[in-house]
Amino acid sequence: MAEELQIEKDLVEDLLSRLSGKGKKGREAAIEALAVSTEDDDWRPDELIKQGGIEIIRDLLGDKNQHIVLSALEIIIAIAALGHEEALVSDGVIAVLDTMQDSRNPAIREKVREALEILQPEVDEVVTSKPQDDY
């Protein structure tokens, strides 16, 4: 078990260093590998969050490469879907997503909308799900 955790830690560290690097091919391969890994039922973002990965992924949302942006959005959606919305919010992801809502790319617009739906529940849903006071 401890060996598996060390392997995961090392793998995440390696991917994040590639994402921060200047090599375009390396960044694209690393973000796509990370996005694909989120599809595993056992995937958890804890190590990614612990190593500052959200900031790195957030910064990739502004990349010119559409594949990198779409993969970054997939990762953000996966993190939010697993209940780590607060980590995304505290690292400024919503502000970046807000600026992307008018993207020319329809696939990006759709992924941004999906991410924002998870991160910003509709006011009506919040109000109606609030327990009513007894009078």
> For the chain, what is the radius of gyration of the CA atoms?
16
Q: What is the pTM of this model?
A: 0.84
pLDDT band at residue 122 under the 50/70/90 scheme: low
pLDDT surpassing 70 at residue 1: no
List Cβ neighbours of 14 (8 Å cut-off, separation of 6 or more). none
Q: Which of 21-30, 40-49, 122-131 has the lowest mean pLDDT?
A: 122-131
Closest by CA to 59, choosing from 85, 25, 29, 21, is 21
Domain 2-121 class, CATH top level? mainly alpha
User: 55-76 b/e with 16+ CB inside 10 Å = b?
Assistant: ebbbebbebeeeebbbbbbbbb
What ranges do the domains of the chain cover? 2-121
